[in-house]
Amino acid sequence: MEGTYWDRVETIQRDGLKKLQLKRLNKTFERAKKSRFYRDRLPETINSLDALKDIPFTTKSDLRSSFPNGMLSVPQEEIIRLHSSSGTTGRATVIYHTRSDIDSWADLVARSMYMTGVRKSDVFQNMMGYGLFTGGLGLHYGSERLGALTIPASSGNSIRQIRLMKEFNSTVIHITPSYALHLYILFQEECIDPVSDLHLRIAFLGAEPYSEETRKRIESLYGLDAFNSYGLSEMNGPGVAFECPVKEGMHVWEDSYILEVVDPETGDLLSDGEEGEIVLTTLKREGMPVIRYRTGDIASVFPGECPCGRTHRRISRIKGRTDDMLIIKGVNLYPMQIEKILMDIPEVGNNYLIEIEKIDYLDSINIKVEVRPEIFHGDIIELENLKKRIVEDLKNEILIHPRITLVEPNSLPRSEGKAVRVVDNRSK
């Protein structure tokens, strides 16, 4: 009989896990101190995990200023791959991997996939971009390690994606939530019902924030189980935290990462249950260890044990990055709070865009919302009522009064990678 766990470490007792973490952390310090960046920033060893809080954070700007080799901890001939972020919001960053790093990463991804129920007999269509972005290759190697038939479809080319799903009976997909919603529109145009005409049973959704309502919508449109997948290139990529079948938070693989949550303003440690910024430390990385990395991602740790038996702590859905937070008329707001409301209204279509501008020196927010085709072309009074309902629901949640423009399905700009949800014209 097949086991429930991929690796015994998934259920290790917490005190054993902490001992393992301390041992690996000290080894990580030893390795990291070989790099220019960490040479003088780290002690030789620490005696307890509590002492980690006195070690300085590493930030995105540290990664940028040490570009390209300042954090490299091994001779370059030991490196077999690099991944680099696009640098859309500044200079690029680079992460280096040794053979053993790539190996450990594949193990974590295989473990994550197995946890959701993927097995050798599955056909896995990987619809994330292959290349410098980690979403494609990250899942690819994990899936091969697990032994599933892996289709390196990469992102985009929707008609081919649909064809591949049909021709090879794909059972598992990896896709951004925004693209999954968009793709469904094409299924409708092709007169294919993913629920009855395909064999999909599992989806991994990640790379961008999305709400529980969006997950539920994707599950029902495609007739599958969708699991949240979290990762970032600085920590490898996907495979840092993943949902188990309980679907209450994502287990962070604490044998490979130390998880901390800090107050984004002060950097002070927060307790389980408190919302703050996720800080991560690699525990197995050889090529380029990263210590106390400020991810910018806002979430909280679920207190208590998971009924699945895994002992690694779980984090909530990521609310957004610290820099996604909008301040509108003095009110703090994450785009996710808006998405949550929109996706809970059945008449609302699968895409939206938040536009912010200054009108007479005041912030003004206009949300363009795609509507389902039958509603858009239907009764005008119903459309007006829908608009009122959206305004009302949003006012209750975000406490400001947005303008709503209902637009035709499939009319808003979309990206095949991470969705752009907000256009802020205030600084222009």
The residues binding ligand ADP (CB under 6 A) are 85-86, 133-134, 206-209, 228-233, 295, 297, 318, 321
By CB under 5 A, the residues from 383 to 402 that bind Zn ion are none
Cβ-based nearer residue to ligand ADP, 57 or 376: 57
402 binds, among Zn ion, ligand ADP, none (CB under 5 to 8 A by kind): none
298 binds, among Zn ion, ligand ADP, none (CB under 5 to 8 A by kind): none
- Pick the piece of the chain touching Zn ion (CB under 5 A) from 146-154, 170-178, 287-295, 305-313: 305-313
Residue 111 touches Zn ion, criterion: CB under 5 A: no
Residues 6+ apart with CB under 8 A from 421: 335, 339, 352, 353, 354
306 binds, among ligand ADP, Zn ion, none (CB under 5 to 8 A by kind): Zn ion
Between the alpha carbon of residue 116 and those of residues 61, 103, 251, 295, 352, the distances in Å are 35, 20, 12, 25, 30
Q: How far is the CB of 208 from ligand ADP (least distance, A)?
A: 5
Cβ-based nearer residue to ligand ADP, 173 or 404: 173
Site string for Zn ion, 70-99 (x = CB under 5 A): ------------------------------
221 binds, among Zn ion, ligand ADP, none (CB under 5 to 8 A by kind): none
282 binds, among ligand ADP, Zn ion, none (CB under 5 to 8 A by kind): none
Cβ-based nearer residue to ligand ADP, 198 or 318: 318
Residue 308 touches Zn ion, criterion: CB under 5 A: yes
Site string for Zn ion, 229-258 (x = CB under 5 A): ---------------x-x------------
Residue 292 touches Zn ion, criterion: CB under 5 A: no
Cβ-based nearer residue to ligand ADP, 387 or 418: 418
Cβ-based nearer residue to ligand ADP, 249 or 409: 249
Q: How far is the CB of 229 from ligand ADP (least distance, A)?
A: 5
Cβ-based nearer residue to ligand ADP, 49 or 422: 422
Cβ-based nearer residue to Zn ion, 187 or 230: 230
310 binds, among ligand ADP, Zn ion, none (CB under 5 to 8 A by kind): Zn ion
Q: Are strands 94-98 and 79-84 parallel, antiparallel or unpaired?
A: antiparallel
308 binds, among ligand ADP, Zn ion, none (CB under 5 to 8 A by kind): Zn ion
Which of 217, 310, 313, 421 is close enough to bind Zn ion by CB under 5 A?
310
Cβ-based nearer residue to ligand ADP, 46 or 132: 132
Q: What is the 3-state secondary structure (H, E, C) of the chain?
A: CCCCCCCHHHHCCHHHHHHHHHHHHHHHHHHHCCCCCCCCCCCCCCCCHHHHHHCCCECHHHHHHCCCCCCCCCCHHHEEEEEECCCCCCCCCEEEEEHHHHHHHHHHHHHHHHHHCCCCCCEEEECCCCCCCHHHHHHHHHHHHHCCEEECCCCCCHHHHHHHHHHCCCCEEEECHHHHHHHHHHHHHCCCCHHHHCCCCEEEEECCCCCHHHHHHHHHHHCCEEEEEEECHHHCCEEEEEECCCCCCEEECCCCEEEEEECCCCCCECCCCCCEEEEEEECCCCCCCCCCEEEEEEECEECCCCCCCCCCCEECCCCEEHHHCEEECCEEECHHHHHHHHHCCCCEEEEEEEEEEEECCEEEEEEEEEECHHHHCCCHHHHHHHHHHHHHHHHHHHCCCCEEEEECCCCCCCCCCCCCCEEECCCC
Cβ-based nearer residue to Zn ion, 247 or 389: 247
Using CB under 5 A, list all residues that contact Zn ion.
244, 246, 306, 308, 310
